[in-house]
Amino acid sequence: MQARTLNVMNLPFTVLVDTPRDGTVVELASDGVENVLNDIDQRFSPFRPDSLVCRYRAGDRSMLDDDDFTEVYSRSILARTETDGLFDPFFRGGYDPTGLVKGWAVERAFGIALAPLITQGSIAAAAIDADVWATALLAAPLRDVDRLVGEHELTAFLVLGPERFLVYSNGRRTKPVEHDGEVVAQRSAAARNPPMTRNPTISAGRFCDER
Protein backbone atom coordinates (compact mmCIF):
# COMPACT_ATOMS: atom_id res chain seq x y z
CA MET A 1 0.00 0.00 0.00
CA GLN A 2 1.44 3.36 -1.05
CA ALA A 3 0.34 6.65 0.50
CA ARG A 4 0.40 10.32 -0.39
CA THR A 5 -0.88 13.11 1.87
CA LEU A 6 -2.60 16.13 0.36
CA ASN A 7 -3.26 19.44 2.12
CA VAL A 8 -6.61 20.72 0.89
CA MET A 9 -9.38 22.64 2.71
CA ASN A 10 -6.82 23.28 5.45
CA LEU A 11 -6.93 19.55 6.27
CA PRO A 12 -4.67 16.56 5.54
CA PHE A 13 -6.20 13.95 3.23
CA THR A 14 -4.15 10.75 2.84
CA VAL A 15 -4.66 8.80 -0.39
CA LEU A 16 -3.86 5.08 0.05
CA VAL A 17 -3.34 3.00 -3.10
CA ASP A 18 -2.64 -0.72 -3.46
CA THR A 19 -1.16 -1.47 -6.88
CA PRO A 20 1.48 -3.77 -8.35
CA ARG A 21 2.39 -1.08 -10.86
CA ASP A 22 4.94 1.70 -10.56
CA GLY A 23 4.49 5.04 -8.86
CA THR A 24 2.98 6.62 -11.96
CA VAL A 25 -0.40 5.08 -11.14
CA VAL A 26 -0.17 6.32 -7.56
CA GLU A 27 0.54 9.84 -8.80
CA LEU A 28 -2.37 9.59 -11.24
CA ALA A 29 -4.71 8.51 -8.45
CA SER A 30 -3.58 11.12 -5.93
CA ASP A 31 -3.57 13.91 -8.54
CA GLY A 32 -7.13 13.00 -9.46
CA VAL A 33 -8.22 13.11 -5.82
CA GLU A 34 -6.46 16.44 -5.31
CA ASN A 35 -8.18 17.96 -8.35
CA VAL A 36 -11.61 16.93 -7.08
CA LEU A 37 -10.92 18.21 -3.56
CA ASN A 38 -9.59 21.54 -4.85
CA ASP A 39 -12.68 21.99 -7.00
CA ILE A 40 -14.94 21.30 -4.01
CA ASP A 41 -12.90 23.67 -1.85
CA GLN A 42 -13.29 26.47 -4.38
CA ARG A 43 -17.05 25.98 -4.60
CA PHE A 44 -17.87 25.23 -0.94
CA SER A 45 -15.23 27.15 1.00
CA PRO A 46 -16.69 29.38 3.74
CA PHE A 47 -13.75 31.76 3.22
CA ARG A 48 -13.86 32.47 -0.52
CA PRO A 49 -16.26 35.35 -1.27
CA ASP A 50 -17.04 33.84 -4.68
CA SER A 51 -17.80 30.32 -3.37
CA LEU A 52 -21.32 28.95 -3.62
CA VAL A 53 -21.65 28.93 0.16
CA CYS A 54 -20.62 32.56 0.69
CA ARG A 55 -22.70 33.74 -2.25
CA TYR A 56 -25.72 31.91 -0.80
CA ARG A 57 -25.12 33.57 2.56
CA ALA A 58 -25.03 36.92 0.77
CA GLY A 59 -28.48 36.34 -0.73
CA ASP A 60 -27.58 34.91 -4.15
CA ARG A 61 -29.80 31.92 -5.04
CA SER A 62 -28.48 31.13 -8.53
CA MET A 63 -26.57 28.12 -7.16
CA LEU A 64 -29.86 26.35 -6.48
CA ASP A 65 -29.54 25.15 -10.08
CA ASP A 66 -26.19 23.52 -9.23
CA ASP A 67 -26.64 19.77 -8.62
CA ASP A 68 -23.74 19.51 -6.18
CA PHE A 69 -24.93 22.46 -4.11
CA THR A 70 -28.48 21.14 -3.88
CA GLU A 71 -27.18 17.68 -2.91
CA VAL A 72 -25.02 19.10 -0.11
CA TYR A 73 -27.82 21.40 1.02
CA SER A 74 -30.31 18.51 1.14
CA ARG A 75 -27.87 16.30 3.02
CA SER A 76 -27.11 19.02 5.55
CA ILE A 77 -30.80 19.62 6.27
CA LEU A 78 -31.36 15.87 6.61
CA ALA A 79 -28.35 15.61 8.94
CA ARG A 80 -29.80 18.34 11.16
CA THR A 81 -33.05 16.37 11.43
CA GLU A 82 -31.42 12.98 12.00
CA THR A 83 -29.07 14.32 14.70
CA ASP A 84 -31.80 16.33 16.44
CA GLY A 85 -29.84 19.50 15.76
CA LEU A 86 -26.43 18.26 16.95
CA PHE A 87 -25.27 19.04 13.42
CA ASP A 88 -26.79 22.32 12.27
CA PRO A 89 -25.72 24.00 9.01
CA PHE A 90 -27.23 27.24 10.36
CA PHE A 91 -25.44 27.12 13.71
CA ARG A 92 -24.39 30.77 13.36
CA GLY A 93 -27.43 32.01 11.54
CA GLY A 94 -25.98 31.78 8.04
CA TYR A 95 -25.66 28.59 6.03
CA ASP A 96 -22.37 26.72 6.63
CA PRO A 97 -22.24 22.98 5.78
CA THR A 98 -18.48 22.75 6.40
CA GLY A 99 -18.54 19.74 8.72
CA LEU A 100 -20.63 17.72 6.29
CA VAL A 101 -18.77 18.84 3.16
CA LYS A 102 -15.53 17.18 4.31
CA GLY A 103 -17.09 13.73 4.36
CA TRP A 104 -19.00 14.37 1.14
CA ALA A 105 -15.77 15.50 -0.52
CA VAL A 106 -14.06 12.22 0.39
CA GLU A 107 -16.99 10.25 -1.02
CA ARG A 108 -17.00 12.37 -4.16
CA ALA A 109 -13.25 12.17 -4.73
CA PHE A 110 -13.26 8.40 -4.32
CA GLY A 111 -16.07 7.98 -6.83
CA ILE A 112 -14.56 10.26 -9.45
CA ALA A 113 -10.81 9.65 -9.11
CA LEU A 114 -10.30 6.20 -7.57
CA ALA A 115 -13.27 3.96 -8.37
CA PRO A 116 -12.65 4.05 -12.16
CA LEU A 117 -9.01 2.99 -11.63
CA ILE A 118 -10.18 0.02 -9.55
CA THR A 119 -12.73 -0.93 -12.22
CA GLN A 120 -10.07 -0.71 -14.93
CA GLY A 121 -7.71 -2.90 -12.92
CA SER A 122 -5.05 -0.21 -12.66
CA ILE A 123 -5.16 -0.46 -8.86
CA ALA A 124 -6.34 -3.28 -6.60
CA ALA A 125 -7.73 -1.13 -3.79
CA ALA A 126 -7.71 2.45 -2.56
CA ALA A 127 -8.93 4.65 0.27
CA ILE A 128 -8.95 8.29 1.36
CA ASP A 129 -8.27 9.03 5.02
CA ALA A 130 -9.28 12.48 6.31
CA ASP A 131 -8.50 14.21 9.61
CA VAL A 132 -11.54 13.18 11.66
CA TRP A 133 -10.75 15.50 14.56
CA ALA A 134 -10.65 18.56 12.37
CA THR A 135 -13.94 17.50 10.82
CA ALA A 136 -15.47 17.00 14.27
CA LEU A 137 -14.41 20.46 15.43
CA LEU A 138 -15.72 22.03 12.24
CA ALA A 139 -19.11 20.38 12.72
CA ALA A 140 -19.44 20.97 16.46
CA PRO A 141 -21.36 23.96 17.85
CA LEU A 142 -18.88 26.58 19.01
CA ARG A 143 -20.06 26.19 22.62
CA ASP A 144 -18.85 22.55 22.58
CA VAL A 145 -15.39 23.16 21.13
CA ASP A 146 -13.70 23.89 24.48
CA ARG A 147 -15.09 20.66 25.94
CA LEU A 148 -14.08 18.49 22.96
CA VAL A 149 -10.57 19.93 22.84
CA GLY A 150 -10.12 19.58 26.60
CA GLU A 151 -11.45 16.02 26.86
CA HIS A 152 -9.11 14.77 24.14
CA GLU A 153 -6.13 17.03 24.93
CA LEU A 154 -5.98 18.37 21.39
CA THR A 155 -3.65 21.02 20.03
CA ALA A 156 -5.67 23.11 17.60
CA PHE A 157 -5.68 26.35 15.66
CA LEU A 158 -9.20 27.37 14.62
CA VAL A 159 -10.11 30.27 12.36
CA LEU A 160 -13.49 31.62 13.44
CA GLY A 161 -13.67 34.47 10.97
CA PRO A 162 -11.86 37.66 10.02
CA GLU A 163 -9.44 38.50 12.85
CA ARG A 164 -10.99 35.84 15.12
CA PHE A 165 -8.99 32.81 16.22
CA LEU A 166 -8.88 30.17 18.93
CA VAL A 167 -5.61 28.49 19.85
CA TYR A 168 -5.32 25.41 22.07
CA SER A 169 -2.27 23.56 23.37
CA ASN A 170 -2.75 20.05 24.77
CA GLY A 171 -6.38 20.72 25.53
CA ARG A 172 -5.99 24.20 27.03
CA ARG A 173 -6.84 27.47 25.36
CA THR A 174 -3.85 29.77 25.01
CA LYS A 175 -3.53 33.47 24.31
CA PRO A 176 -5.50 34.48 21.18
CA VAL A 177 -3.46 35.17 18.09
CA GLU A 178 -3.43 38.71 16.76
CA HIS A 179 -4.50 39.15 13.14
CA ASP A 180 -1.03 39.09 11.66
CA GLY A 181 -0.65 37.41 8.27
CA GLU A 182 2.86 36.11 8.95
CA VAL A 183 2.07 34.67 12.37
CA VAL A 184 -1.14 33.02 11.18
CA ALA A 185 0.60 31.51 8.16
CA GLN A 186 3.36 30.08 10.34
CA ARG A 187 0.89 28.57 12.80
CA SER A 188 -1.24 27.13 10.01
CA ALA A 189 1.78 25.60 8.29
CA ALA A 190 2.93 24.01 11.53
CA ALA A 191 -0.54 22.63 12.21
CA ARG A 192 -0.82 21.14 8.74
CA ASN A 193 2.45 19.25 9.23
CA PRO A 194 2.17 17.95 12.81
CA PRO A 195 4.74 15.69 14.47
CA MET A 196 3.67 12.08 15.06
CA THR A 197 2.41 12.39 18.62
CA ARG A 198 -0.49 10.93 20.58
CA ASN A 199 -2.34 14.24 20.57
CA PRO A 200 -3.12 15.42 17.03
CA THR A 201 -2.51 18.99 15.95
CA ILE A 202 -5.40 20.52 14.06
CA SER A 203 -5.74 23.55 11.83
CA ALA A 204 -9.32 24.30 10.84
CA GLY A 205 -11.51 27.12 9.58
CA ARG A 206 -15.19 27.51 10.39
CA PHE A 207 -16.99 30.50 8.92
CA CYS A 208 -17.07 32.86 5.98
CA ASP A 209 -17.61 36.53 6.72
CA GLU A 210 -21.17 37.37 7.76
CA ARG A 211 -22.93 39.67 5.33
pLDDT by residue (tens digit) across 48-98?
999 999 999 999 999 999 999 999 999 999 888 887 877 788 877 789 888
**Has residue 181 been placed in a domain?**
yes
**Has residue 88 been placed in a domain?**
yes
Whole-angstrom distance, CA of residue 2 vs CA of residue 152: 30
**Has residue 195 been placed in a domain?**
yes
Whole-angstrom distance, CA of residue 155 vs CA of residue 49: 29
Instruction: Report helix, strand or coil for 127.
Output: strand
**Has residue 210 been placed in a domain?**
no
pLDDT tens, residue by residue, 109-125: 999 999 999 888 888 88
Strand partners, 129: 14
> What is the extent of the structural domain holding 178?
2-205
- Tally of structural domains, the chain: 1
**Has residue 29 been placed in a domain?**
yes
**Has residue 211 been placed in a domain?**
no
Note the pTM of the prediction, 2 decimals.
0.65
CA 39 to chain centre: 13
Whole-angstrom distance, CA of residue 117 vs CA of residue 160: 38
